[in-house]
Amino acid sequence: MTHDAPAPVYGSAVTKVEPFGVDHIPDNERHGKPSSQFFVWFAAGLNFPIILLGFSAAWFGLSFTAAVAAIVLGAALGSLLMAVMSRMGVRLGVPQQIQARGPLGFFGNFLPVAYINVFAGIGWASVTVILGGKAFAELTHLPFWLCALALTAVELVVSVYGYNMINYLQRVLTYVLTPLFVMITVVAVVRGGGTFGADPHAKGYIGGTGGWITFGGWFLSFLVAWAPFASDYSRYLPDSPQVVKRTAWYTGLGNFVTICWLGILGVLVGSSATSTDSITALHELAGPFAVPALIAITLSALAQNFLNVYGGAISVQTLKVPVSRTQAVVVICLLAYAISLWGESGTEDKFKVFLNLTAYFIAPFAAVLLLDYHLGGRSDPARIAELYDRSRVLGWGFVAWAGGVLASVPFWQSSFYTGPFSAAYPGAGDLSMFVASGASVVLYLLTYRLRPLWVREDATAPALSTEEPAVVAGS
C-alpha cells in the first residue's frame, strides 16, 4: 500500500503568512530553486555602508591595488563561509541558530544566540533604519521620524508574511536596485574616482600590513555577521545533492559580487570624498543624480532589514521566549525604531563598532557549527531530533565558543574597547576575529569526542514536529 504525501500547508504561496517558526521543515513543504539564494544575498549586499567602508582605504594609507586585494580576499572568505552554511540549511531543514544546539546544547546555545542574533540583530536593524530613513527624509523632505517609521512598517509587514514573501521581494529588489547602483557607480567614477598609491603619512596609517588586515577584515566581518542566518533562507529548498551544491554556488556568488563591487567602488572614490556622513557623501558621489541614488539607498535598507528582522524573530523563538514569530517581529521592529530615533547621529561609527563586536562573537560560533557539521556527524538528518531535545542541556561546543571569544579579547581593536595586545602593537592590525576562530577550532577538536557536559536524565525530549505549533500562523 502506498501513502501520498500530505498536501503542503504553506507551499510556495507568497501572500500566505508563513506558519512555521523554528520547526524542522518537512519534505512536503520543501520548494523553490537554488537560484533564489543568489537574489536573497545579492539584494542584501547592495547597500551604501559597503561603499563607505571602501572610503577607508585612503585613510589607512593603502594603495589602490592593496585595497582591492584586501576586499577580494575578505569577500572570498566570507562568501565561502556563507556558501557552506547555506548548504546546511538545505540538508537539515532547520534555522542556523537551531543547528547550534547540536554542539552547544539546548540551553548552552542561549547565550550566543541572545547576543549574536537578538542584540546584534536589533542593532543592525537600527543602523539600517537610520541610513534608509535619512535617505528617505532627504528625498521627500519629511521628518526623519516619519520616514524611519514608514520603512519600519514595511519591514514589519513583509517579515510577518515571512519566507516566501521575502524571497519574492528580494528578487524584485535585485532587478530594481541593480541599475540604480550601476548608475551610482558610473556617475561616482566619472565625477572623481581614480586609483592612488600608498601613503605612509595618511591619518590612519598603522603600517601597511596592519592596515591591510584591518581593512580587509571589515569586508569579511560584514559577511560573517550574516553567517548565523544563512540556513534561514535555504531551509525550505528540496534536499537533494544537486540542490545542495547549486545552493552553495548561488549563495557564494550573490555575496561575493556585491561586496567586491561596492567595496572597490568605495576605494575608487574614497580619495576624493570630503565627508564620512553617509548622505553627504552620497550627494558628493551622485551630484545631479542624487534623487535616484537616494531612492536606491532607501530601497536597499528594506532589502537588508527584511533579513535582519526575520532572522531576529527566529532567534527570539530559539531562546524559547513564549511568543509567536509575528509577535517577535513586532517587538524587534519597535525596538529597532526606538533605537534609530536615539542613535540618528554618528551612524557610520556605530556601524563599524557593530561590525567589530559581531565578528568577534560570530566567528567562533560559525567555526564550531562548521566543525560539528563536518566532523561531529551533524550532517546526518537522522540526528535532527537531537536539536529539539531539552535533556541535552550543555555541550562542549559552548566551551569552544566561549573560549574563542575570551582568547580574542586581548586583540580587540575598536572604539568601544582596545585590548592590551592591540594597544601595544597597533601595527599588527585587528586580529581578533582570526584568533577567536582559531582558538575555538582547537578547543572543539580537543573536546568534541567527549560526552556532553550536562545531560538532564529526567528530561523528556519533545517530538520533532511539535516544539513550535506549526498550525498557528506566524508561530
Q: Per-residue DSSP letters for 356-394?
A: HHHHHHHHHHHHHHHHHHHTSSTT-GGGGGGGG-TTEEE
* Residue of 296, 275, 297 lying closest to 284 (CA atoms): 275
Q: Please name every residue paired with 394 in a beta bridge, in sequence order, or none if there are none.
A: 454
Look up residue 197 and give its three cell numbers. 598609491
* DSSP code for 450: S
Look up residue 463 and give its three cell numbers. 517530538
pTM: 0.93
| Phi/psi-derived region of residue 394, left when phi > 0, alpha when psi is between -120 and 50, beta in every other case | beta
β 392-394/454-455 pair status: antiparallel
Please report the pLDDT score of residue 355 as a whole number.
78
Q: What residue ranges define each of the domains in the chain, with the CATH number in brackets?
A: 31-357 (1.10.4160.10)
Mean pLDDT, consecutive 10-residue stretches, the chain (475 aa), reads 74 96 95 98 92 88 96 98 97 96 96 81 86 92 97 97 98 97 90 85 89 96 93 97 98 98 90 67 80 94 95 92 93 94 71 79 96 96 95 97 98 90 94 98 97 82 48 36
Please report the pLDDT score of residue 152 as a whole number.
97
* Residue of 45, 47, 69 lying closest to 264 (CA atoms): 69
Helices and strands, counts by H and E, the chain: 18, 2
